Amino acid sequence: MTFLITGADGQLGRLLSGVFAAAGTVVACTRAELDVTNAAQVAAVIGNARPDVVVNCAAFNDVDAAEEQQQRAFDVNAMAVRALARAAREVDAVLVHYGTDFVFDGNSARPYTETDPPSPRSVYAASKLVGEWMAADAPRWYVLRVESLFGVAHAPGTARVGSIDRIITAIERREPARVFRDRVVSPSYLPDVAAATQTLLAKEAPSGIYHAVNGGYCTWYELAQHIADTLGGRDLLVPIDFAATPMKAVRPRFAALDNSRLAAAGYVMPTWQDAIDRYLSFRQRSATI
């Protein structure tokens, strides 16, 4: 089986390139090697490789910058997905694409399901939602919505450090860690997202949207407390109010996602606490090598 992975220089792309190498041939395309916004180039590369699965890890993820770079956000997050889906159709390949919790407005009082109507409130969120629609042009397709990704070391100059890594690093350095006490999330541990992706493909699950987040939900402050219980340093946590923090782009205040559909398809995501514990253990082991 041949897997073509776009955005192979990002945190998820690097991980999946290694994971799928054990299952077949991987054609890993970095941004320098494949411009996903160039439809002709996308068609040529996929037509030449003739992969069984196209995994799209390319994305414009700078939420605030998207407010100013609207065209770029839609080119990468939406139009590129259309090009990938159409190229996948030409070679009868499965398309895997990754979405976001930001497609919801954050006004819910319970975790969002895949059947809840999206209501994006930022340019980034709108571009990602259109990308979900475009993915359906592929003959078989999966959109895995992920949230607050964490779990793989970032290569210098290739990826931005996520919120969870920033919290961990601040505590390790014995520096104050500012965390929202009123924003609710369901984080996604990268190895678990990879396992969920593998399961959907292996089981040939029905095409559609799946929430690939770890089980349960918490405020950022509760998540930081869990980290501090392992590393020490609860006194370093500085709770701040989400509503009182100015940001260029609107973010959903309540961003918890329900992952029941993924469980029904054959993969039960571990809890967020379990994921955090495994990641902290991984970081500690890596530091001693």
* CA 182/CA 160 separation, integer angstroms: 24
The label of the residue with tokens 């109507």 reads 117
Beta bridge partners of 142: 96, 208
Backbone angles phi, psi at 202, to 5 degrees: -65, -40
- What φ, ψ does residue 122 adopt, rounded to 5°? -145, 165
Q: Is the dihedral of CA 32, 210, 43, 79 positive or negative?
A: negative
d(C-alpha 266, C-alpha 212), whole Å: 12
Q: How far is CA 205 from CA 1, 6, 87, 200, 219, in A?
A: 17, 22, 21, 5, 32
- Residue listed under structure tokens 């890890």: 57
Other residues' Cβ atoms within 10 Å of the Cβ of residue 8: 23
Find the catalytic residue in 112, 124, 217, 221. Answer: 124
What is the chain's length?
Answer: 289
Alpha helices in the chain (DSSP H): 11-21, 39-49, 70-74, 80-90, 123-135, 163-172, 190-202, 220-231, 260-265, 272-288
Q: Is 124 a catalytic residue?
A: yes
Which residue numbers are catalytic? Answer: 124
